[in-house]
């Protein structure tokens, strides 16, 4: 749930990530080259005034909890705070604060890790190590007047911010391909359908196969498909291999005049349906029609499993058409055509929506440039 919407989650704020990114701000400020009383107190209290102390390795039991958390950034290997801490690097000025062997100031690791044998009295150096070492060191020039400062290596200008750090940490969490996230969160799709789509793409729907995996006892241990009773009910079968459902997809594609055959794999099929309806360029209609259809397929399956829905098969296309029109009307201002036109000429409707979007963008551009001209005119009059 805490993963970004674009990466398959629901975009709920993650408190651990937020906390790490805010702690990182303190660490960054500690080495930003600006003097401060709070820094002097900390250096005196914990490091006896030695600025050159390797702060990442000095975390004692007698430190305050908050300070331990801040200095804990960069320790460990898998945790979020470790990922964050590794993004800090010294930007060398006069070199007075940088520990030559222990700090990260040239290359992507401290020199003690890049050249472990050099530190132990230059015994048994590897072939070519000397050239590598010289080449690395020669990259850095000392500047007498400049203080050493921290650089945040994950931003172009080297400046750390809590938001950038949060985004960086969030970028490491991904549970769903970006392509499917785009389908789920398309603008015409209402939120209840987005949640359904999210469960669909993560295979979290309560199919009998998934229920068995979760240890739910099914009546008579029956795991057969509720629609055709011919195979095990799992995502791939219900939405792709099941014969009555296959016919529904064919009817929907026929409504949109799409002739292509569908792949024999559920995600390939999603791709084909969305691409077939969109036809060459991306619109949010493809995701809407796909999700409405999948939603009604699942609704139909539920009716059958719970002993109803005998005649729903005849009405499913009508339901898909009316519900998609209803949701489109609610979300799209350019939807000025009638329901009959939507059923009979969906491609013309799509053209009207695309044209309306284009007109709207042109209007906004014209409006903005007219505004600029007015402002310039007013400015020249004042001058």
Residues that bind Zn ion (CB under 5 A): 225, 227-228, 242
Among the listed residues 217, 210, 189, 213, the one whose alpha carbon sits nearest the alpha carbon of residue 301: 210
Give how far Cα 151 sits from Cα of 46, 68, 87, 321, Å.
23, 21, 8, 56
Is residue 123 a contact partner of residue 64, using CB atoms and an 8 Å limit?
A: no
Q: Which is nearer to Zn ion, 262 or 353 (CB)?
A: 262
Shortest Cβ 226–Zn ion spacing (Å): 8
Q: Which is nearer to Zn ion, 102 or 301 (CB)?
A: 301
Angle, CA of 369, 372 and 373, to the nearest 5°? 90
Q: Which is nearer to Zn ion, 239 or 327 (CB)?
A: 239
Residue 64 phi/psi, 5-degree rounding, is -70, 155
Shortest Cβ 236–Zn ion spacing (Å): 11
Q: To which H or E segment does residue 91 belong? A: strand 88-91
48 vs 26: CA distance, rounded Å: 20
Residue 149 phi/psi, 5-degree rounding, is -135, 160
Shortest Cβ 297–Zn ion spacing (Å): 10
Q: Which is nearer to Zn ion, 240 or 277 (CB)?
A: 240
Q: Which residues pair with 149 in a beta bridge?
A: 91
Q: Record the tokens describing residue 301, joined without a space.
A: 């399956």
Q: To which H or E segment does residue 104 belong? A: none
Q: Which is nearer to Zn ion, 178 or 230 (CB)?
A: 230
Shortest Cβ 227–Zn ion spacing (Å): 4
Q: Which is nearer to Zn ion, 312 or 341 (CB)?
A: 312
255 vs 349: CA distance, rounded Å: 13
Among the listed residues 168, 151, 169, the one whose alpha carbon sits nearest the alpha carbon of residue 160: 151
Shortest Cβ 81–Zn ion spacing (Å): 48
Shortest Cβ 229–Zn ion spacing (Å): 7
Shortest Cβ 192–Zn ion spacing (Å): 25
Q: Which is nearer to Zn ion, 242 or 294 (CB)?
A: 242
* CB crowding 32-46: b at 16 or more within 10 Å, else e: eeeeeeeeeebbeeb
Q: Which is nearer to Zn ion, 104 or 208 (CB)?
A: 208
Side-chain half-sphere of 12: how many Cα atoms within 13 Å? 5
Shortest Cβ 230–Zn ion spacing (Å): 6
The packing angle between helices 285-305 and 191-201, to 10°, is: 80
Q: Which is nearer to Zn ion, 136 or 228 (CB)?
A: 228
Shortest Cβ 316–Zn ion spacing (Å): 15
């Amino acid at each position: 749930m805490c993963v970004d919407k674009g990466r398959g989650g629901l975009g709920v704020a993650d408190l651990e990530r937020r906390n790490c990114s805010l702690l990182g701000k303190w660490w960054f400020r500690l080495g930003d080259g600006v003097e401060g009383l709070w820094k002097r107190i900390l250096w005196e209290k914990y490091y006896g005034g030695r600025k050159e102390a390797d702060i990442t390795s000095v975390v004692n039991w007698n430190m305050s909890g908050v300070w331990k958390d801040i200095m804990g950034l960069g320790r460990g290997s898998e945790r979020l705070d470790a990922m964050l801490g590794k993004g800090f690097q010294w930007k060398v000025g006069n070199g007075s604060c940088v520990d030559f062997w222990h700090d990260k100031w040239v290359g992507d690791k401290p020199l003690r890790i890049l050249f472990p044998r050099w530190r132990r009295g230059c015994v048994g150096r590897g072939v070519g190590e000397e050239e590598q070492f010289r080449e690395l060191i020669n990259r850095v020039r000392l500047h007498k007047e400049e203080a050493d400062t921290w650089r945040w290596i994950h931003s172009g200008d080297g400046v750390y911010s809590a938001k950038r750090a949060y985004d960086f940490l969030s970028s490491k969490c991904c549970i769903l391909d970006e392509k499917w996230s785009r389908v789920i969160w398309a603008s015409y799709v209402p939120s209840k359908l987005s949640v359904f789509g999210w469960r669909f793409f993560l295979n979290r729907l309560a199919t009998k196969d998934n229920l068995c995996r979760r240890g739910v006892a099914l009546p008579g241990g029956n795991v057969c498909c509720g629609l055709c009773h011919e195979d095990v009910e799992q995502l791939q079968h219900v939405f792709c291999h099941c014969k009555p459902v296959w016919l529904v997809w064919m009817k929907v594609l026929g409504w949109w005049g799409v002739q292509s055959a569908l792949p024999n794999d559920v995600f390939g099929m999603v791709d084909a349906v969305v691409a077939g309806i969109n036809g060459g360029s991306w619109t949010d209609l493809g995701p809407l029609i796909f999700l409405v259809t999948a939603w009604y397929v699942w609704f139909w399956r539920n009716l059958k499993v719970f002993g109803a829905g005998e005649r729903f098969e005849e009405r499913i296309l009508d339901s898909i058409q009316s519900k998609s029109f209803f949701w489109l009307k609610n979300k799209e201002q350019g939807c000025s055509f009638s329901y009959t036109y939507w059923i009979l000429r969906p491609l013309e409707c799509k053209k009207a929506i695309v044209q309306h979007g284009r007109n709207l963008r042109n209007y906004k551009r014209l409006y903005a440039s007219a505004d600029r001209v007015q402002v310039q005119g007013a400015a020249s009059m004042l001058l």
